[in-house]
Structure 1
Amino acid sequence: MKPLDPRLLRYASAVRGFLAAGAALGAVQTFFTVAFAFLVSRAVVVVVDREPQRLPGYLVALAVTILCRSLLGWALEALAARTAVKVKSQLRSRVVEKVVSRGHAWLATRNSARLATLIGPGLDALDEYFAKYLPQLILTALATPLLVVVLFTQDVLSGVIVVVTLPLIPVFMILIGWTTRSAQARQWERLARLASSFLDAVNGLSTLKVFGRERRQIRRIGALTDDYRSSTMKVLQVSFLSGFALEMAASLSVALVAVAIGVRLVSGSLELPVGLFLLLLTPEAYLPLRQVGANYHAAADGIAAADDVFEVLADEAEGADTSVSRSSTVPAPAAARNRPAHDVLQLRDLSVSFGDDHVFGPVDLDFETGVLTAVAGRSGVGKSSLLGAVLGTVEAGGTLRWRSDSAAPSHDETAWSGQVPGLLSGTIASNVALGDDIDLDQVVDALTTAGGRDLDPGIELGAGGSGLSGGQAQRVALARALYRLARRPVRLLLVDEPTSALDLVTEQELVEGLRRIAARGVAVVVVTHRPGVLAGTDRVYRLEPTAAIETRQAVTA
């Protein structure tokens, strides 16, 4: 990322206001910096000339100047902190919207742990970028040229020395920046690898325990942690060395000006007020540039994370021409209730491809309200991708709309239960309601219909829904979709492999419950390979890579 990447202005509008306000504050702060040097030099001259009657006026003006400088510095820091919060919020919102809009197909090509690290601690590192680096960058671009102009107006020789020596600091910054950038990139890569390894270990913990391989994974994560610690110390080492080099370059440059002023003061070719003023103002000309170099290392994590964010956001328009045609109007709940009792969700020329890999299609399907429809087919043919295309989480070609009004199903009238339960810590009732108001009667009804009448809604679950068997977790996940159906005007229920972990008796109870739901005027679509489920449905579509074969009677998978 450049010192001020134009993409930051495009994706985070709060930066524009910060730059304008920061420039204004920087200009005023530069004025008070010049005033401070002038007043101090005049106060010292008054003392040397033994004119005490003039000293109180300078001291009062100096106190006001110091107070104003302090207030301006505080205002710039507060503005930077507030802007950092806004920018992080805007970038996080854009990334989350990106992930949601691109769906599971896009997410499958990304490292989810790296993405989570990027959105979390990665963007948090922008605090240092805005709090320390960017304010100094503004002052460097604004204050340094103004101070150099003031130096030239007072003494041409001092101005020339400053102009000649100032470029030494950017040269050191560039040389050090190359080393820092590579070290920082390695550190960020190691952090992402550590997060990925930890996530993999957590996801596969039960499997590791069964095969007795958990100790090996502990050693691997420990090695990655040590690697990250070592890379962090190397970055800190570069940071300290670069700070020392920049301070040395600035100090030597100021010393050249001081020596020239001292010689001329002794020879009498330069007046004392001007000499003191130059001595006080010269370090201020170097200070912003020195601070930019020193604070670059503190902001490097945020810069690296922002680069990754911009890469994620860069392909927003990609794939737009292959998406399913959907209505842009989302019907209100009341409008959904007023729709005809019988309707058909028509899928025409529907096809799904992941990159160059064709999954299935184009196919034509009809999902009728009041009908329990099953989608069968061999493993990997795209049954779950079909549901994802209907939900809008998988990119697909073709059209998808209700026959009555040619509108795509809205999120408000769709309920869904996937293969992964996705349960959270909390009670079963809170998992079933999932943020909605908890109505215990409706929770119990949903659990009963899902074949979970033996589950107590008050049972507390651990992280990830721990405390339930696989079949029980599936029933709670399905009950969540049924609870939504009871609370909202849902006309489309999509269920993916709801009985894969259920016994035959519970499976039949579930099929009967789905048939009762369909009878209420809901289009129920079930992806399954279980013969018992297929036998209980009204219509079966067997999905093939290039076709969808319809059979009115249940078939054996």
Structure 2
Amino acid sequence: MKPLDPRLLRHTRGARRYILITATTGAVTAALVVAQALLIAHAVAPVIDGTAGWAHVATLLPALAAVVALRAGVLVVQESSAHRSATHVIAELREQVLTRTVELGPRWLAAEQGPAVVTLVTRGLDDLEPYFVRYLPQLLLAATVTPATLAVVLGLNLVAALTIAFTLPLIPVFMWLIGVLTQKFAAERLATMQRLGAQLMDLLAGLGTLKALGREQGPGARVGELGRAYTRTTMATLRVAFLSGAVLEFLSSIAVALVAVGIGTGLVYGRIDLVTGLAVLMLAPEVYRPIREVGAQFHASADGIAAAAQSFAVIEHPLPPRGTRPAPDLRQTDIVLDAVSVAAPGRATWAPWQLEARLRPGRVLALVGPSGAGKSTAASVVLGLLTPDDGAVRLVPATPAGDSPASAGVSLSDVDPASWWAQIAWVPQRPVIVPGTVRANVLGDAAAAVDDRARVAAHDTGFDEVLAQLPHGWDSVLGQGGVGLSLGQRQRLALTRALLGTHPLVVLDEPTAHLDARAEEHVLTAVDRLRAQGRTVLVIAHRQALIARADDVVTVRSRATDPADGDRPDAPRTTSTPSPTSASARAEPTP
């Protein structure tokens, strides 16, 4: 990333406003620095020469005090603006990264290592604050204060100006050399932090399974190794930073000393007066200070610069083509999966493979099949989160069972995703529950009244039993992800939320996976209630009781990729089987 990447100004409004404020305060600071040096020189020099006394100094003190106060005020404005802008810019980048990640879909997120993105939008972007608070102000001051003070020195003394002009480029050269090395360590540190975050997230997600197998100690060694690698890269960055600070201080001190030698020689031989000598001596450090601070603060911002560069890579990643046609009314539309096949990431497998299915309004369709066959992937295709690699999803006007469609319909890829998702309720195995009350999560509003419809829905899903166990019932507060409820209770909450909605299509991913037989009955009741409401239900099922509730059953199959067929699925298609809706009837999956 460049010292001031144009993409930062393009993607964040807060950065543009901050640059304008900092440029203005930099110009004011340059004027105040020159004024302060000249006032001090004019006040002190006559006293040293013996040509004036305290009365002369007293006349200049109010002006000098005003300049010092203004410099302090400008510094306060610049610092407060830096902190506010850093907060706003980080929030904007986080929002844009998360939005683009959602738009790119789950398949891209899985391919690009989701934990790395999580680390990026949390700890990674937090490192951008030093860039705004320390590095960027000094960079802008170097573009304003340095040339302004150098121009004043040139007007006062040519020799001093030439000395500064010849020594000043040494600092940027060393800054560049140090910056290259620091940036390398910063990139390594961010990569190590992302690997550490990914390992920790995977470990926490699978800790229950590892503990059940007695292997919970195994990943600890790997996490410890990553932690030590992170410490090593951090210490290496700090070592370079301390050395760079010492080098830059040494260079600027030598340069100021050379200016002082020239001024001393001029005073001895009478080529310059004391006022000019003092002014130049006070202005010379101010010429070097912003550039020196840029180099000193670069290490503090290097981690944030690396994180911002990764953020821009995500934000500017091209989106897959999106449809623009409004979605048809799903209450009057059949959803047809026509030979849908999806290439499984990281495996030479089609999962699902040549899937044929038809979701009719007001009916329940169950997807069955072995683990890894692609049932959840098929549901993601119907949800519009994945695009099939072969085949298509078509939306055709609803026709009675057994009749042929009147038209080819509309391809789901041509439909506007927002209008499509507005008609779908999705209940995954791990439902999304935001921090807040149960009432807000189920009814969508913390102040919404619990009416008879909500009570009936809670009774149908068995969520009323959960409410009875909570300390404050509907007003009980849940933590992030539903902390306070078991996984099965969270599923009942999500089912209640779906039952209270009006979405024509409801997608259920293994709704009975974490429930006992008694709780399973409530899920079956909820499925019956959804069908009675005339809503279409797509359910991924393993248990026979749930399969028996379906009107249609489709077996999902996978197939290993055959290099001879050019990675194209070409075998006979999977078909659906009608199933009785009676609770006592059995619906066998298609063999």
Range into which the TM-score falls when normalised by the shorter chain: 0.7 to 0.9
Using the TM superposition, give the Cα deviation of residue 380 of structure 1 relative to its aligned residue in structure 2, in angstroms: 3.0
Residues 173-197 of structure 1: CA distance to partner in whole angstroms, max 9, x if unpaired?
A: 1222222122222222222222222
1:521 to 518, 534, 550: 534
Secondary structure (helix, strand or coil) at the match of 1:206 reads: helix
**1:477 paired residue number:** 491
Are 1:169 and 1:290, in contact at CA under 8 Å, matched by a contact in 2? yes
| Contact kept? 2:364, 2:537, Cα under 8 Å | yes
**Of 91-100 and 194-203, the range deviating more from structure 2:** 194-203
**Is the CA contact (8 Å cut-off) linking 2:352 and 2:375 kept in structure 1?**
no
Distance 1:444 1:213, change over 3 A: farther
For residue 435 of structure 1, report the CA deviation from its aligned partner.
Answer: 6.4
| Alignment of structure 1 residues 153-232 onto 2, 5 Å | 153-232=155-234
Aligned partner of 2:578 in structure 1 is 552
- Cα distance in 2, alignment partners of residues 354 and 204 from structure 1: 22
Q: Structure 1's 362 and 159: CA in aligned 2 closer, same or farther, altered over 3 A?
A: farther
Tell me which residue corresponds to 2:118: 116
Of 493, 499, 503 in structure 1, the residue corresponding to residue 506 of structure 2 is: 493
Q: Secondary structure at the match of 2:555?
A: strand
How far residue 288 of structure 1 moved from its aligned partner, in angstroms, is: 0.2
Determine the structure 2 residue equivalent to 1:532: 545
Larger deviation: 12-21 or 247-256?
12-21
> Which SS does the other structure have where 1:224 is aligned?
helix
More deviation, 64-73/216-225: 216-225
Q: Does 1:72 align with 2:74?
A: yes
1:387 & 1:478 partners in 2: Cα distance? Answer: 20
Distance change in 2, residues 1:390/1:474 (3 Å): farther
Q: Which residue of 2 aligns with 1:449?
A: 460
CA distance in 1, matches of 2:118, 2:373: 30
Q: Contact between 1:158 and 1:257, CA under 8 Å: does it hold in 2?
A: yes
**CA distance in structure 2 between the partners assigned to 1:73 and 1:121 by the alignment:** 28
Summarize the alignment of residues 48-59 of structure 1 with structure 2, pairs less than 5 Å apart: 48=48, 49-59=51-61
How far, CA to CA, are the matches of 1:382 and 1:340 in structure 2?
A: 24
Do structure 1's residue 459 and structure 2's residue 465 form an aligned pair? no
1:44 aligns with 2:44: yes
Q: Secondary structure at 1:214's aligned position in 2?
A: coil
Q: What is the Cα deviation at residue 146 of structure 1?
A: 1.9
2 CA distance for matches of 1:354 and 1:8? 36
- CA shift, 1:343, in A, is 4.4
Aligned position for 2:256: 254
Measured after TM superposition, the shift of residue 539 of structure 1 is 1.8
Cα deviation 1:418-452 (Å, max 9, x = unaligned): 23355678887776557664738656544543356
Q: 2:34 matched to 1:34?
A: yes
TM-score (normalizing by structure 2): 0.82
Do the aligned residues in 2 keep the contact of 1:103 with 1:392 (CA within 8 Å)?
A: no
Residues 84 and 477 of structure 1: is their aligned pair in 2 closer, same or farther, counting only changes over 3 Å?
same
- Structural mapping, 1:338-349, within 5 Å: 342-346=332-336
Kept after mapping to 1: 8 A contact 2:466/2:489 = no
User: 2:439–2:445: 8 Å Cα contact kept in structure 1?
Assistant: no
Find the aligned partners of 2:161 and 2:18 in 1 and give their Cα distance.
Answer: 31
Residue 378 of structure 2 corresponds to 386
List alignment gaps of at least 5 residues for structure 2. 399-408, 472-477, 559-568, 580-586
- For residues 390 and 255 of structure 1, the distance between their equivalents in structure 2, rounded to whole angstroms, comes to 74
- Using a 3 Å threshold, how does the CA distance of structure 1 residues 438 and 389 change in structure 2: closer, same or farther? farther
Residue 131 of structure 1: how far off its partner (Å): 0.6
Shift of 1:164: 0.5
2:116 is the alignment partner of 1:106: no
- Evaluate the alpha carbon distance shift between residue 59 and residue 362 of structure 1 in structure 2; reply closer, same or farther with a 3 A threshold: farther
Residue 22 of structure 1 aligns to which amino acid in structure 2?
A: T
Aligned pairs (5 A) from 1:341-490:
342-346=332-336, 352-353=342-343, 359-360=351-352, 365-396=357-388, 398=392, 401=395, 403=397, 410-421=420-431, 432=442, 437=448, 439=450, 445-450=456-461, 454-459=465-470, 473-474=487-488, 476-486=490-500, 488-490=501-503
Is structure 2 residue 299 aligned with structure 1 residue 297? yes
Separation in structure 2 between the aligned mates of residue 210 and residue 540 of structure 1, nearest angstrom? 34
Q: Is the 8 A contact 1:428 1:458 kept in 2?
A: no
What fraction of aligned residue pairs are identical, expressed as a percent? Answer: 35
Separation in 1, partners of 2:8, 2:133? 16
Question: Matched residues in 2 for 1:463 and 1:83: separation?
Answer: 28
Name the CA distance, whole Å, in 1 between partners of 2:208 and 2:126.
Answer: 32
Note the residue ranges of structure 1 that are not aligned, 5 or more in a row.
332-338
- Using the TM superposition, name which of 25-34 and 52-61 deviates more: 52-61
The aligned runs of 1:233-312 (5 Å cut-off) are: 233-312=235-314
Q: Which residue of 2 aligns with 1:335?
A: none
Paired amino acid for 2:588 = V
Deviation larger for 532-541 or 279-288 = 532-541
Residue equivalent to 2:5: 5
| Cα distance in 2, alignment partners of residues 326 and 514 from structure 1 | 32
| Change in CA separation of 1:372 and 1:326 when aligned onto 2, cut-off 3 Å | farther
2:325 and 2:356 map into 1 onto residues whose CA distance is 19
Separation in 2, partners of 1:93, 1:401 = 33
Q: How does 1:331-342 map to 2 (within 5 A)?
A: 342=332
Q: CA deviation at 1:395?
A: 3.5
TM-score where L is the length of structure 1: 0.87
Tell me the distance in 1 between the aligned counterparts of 2:210 and 2:185. Answer: 34
Residue type of the partner of 1:492?
L
CA apart distance, 1:199: 1.5
**CA distance change for structure 1 residues 118 and 522 in 2, over 3 Å: closer, same or farther?**
same
Q: How far did residue 224 of structure 1 move?
A: 3.1
Inter-partner Cα distance in structure 1 for 2:514 and 2:504: 26
Shift of 1:94: 0.4
- Report how far residue 108 of structure 1 moved: 0.9
Distance 1:38 1:8 in 2: 38
Structure 1 contact 264–270 (Cα < 8 Å) conserved: yes
CA–CA distance in structure 1, aligned partners of residues 521 and 351 of structure 2: 31
Give how far 1:227 is off.
Answer: 3.3
Distance 1:209 1:377 in 2: 29
- Residue of structure 2 aligned with 1:511, choices 494, 515, 524: 524
Give distance in 2, aligned partners of 1:13 and 1:517.
Answer: 46
Give 3-state SS (helix, strand or coil) of 2:4's partner: coil
Instruction: Specify the code of the residue in structure 1 equivalent to 2:11.
Output: Y
Aligned residues: 541
Cα distance in 1 for partners of 2:43, 2:240 equals: 42
Q: Is the 8 A contact 1:343 1:368 kept in 2?
A: yes
The CA RMSD measured in Å over matched residues stands at: 3.1
For the Cα contact (< 8 Å) 1:46–1:52, is it kept in 2? Answer: no
What's the CA shift for 1:78? 1.6
SS at match of 1:494: strand
Query: What is the one-letter code of the residue matched to 1:194?
Result: L
Match of 1:17 in 2: 17
Deviation, structure 1 residue 143: 1.9
Pick closer, same or farther for the CA change 1:438–1:301 going to 2, 3 Å: farther
Cα distance, 1:67 vs structure 2:
1.1
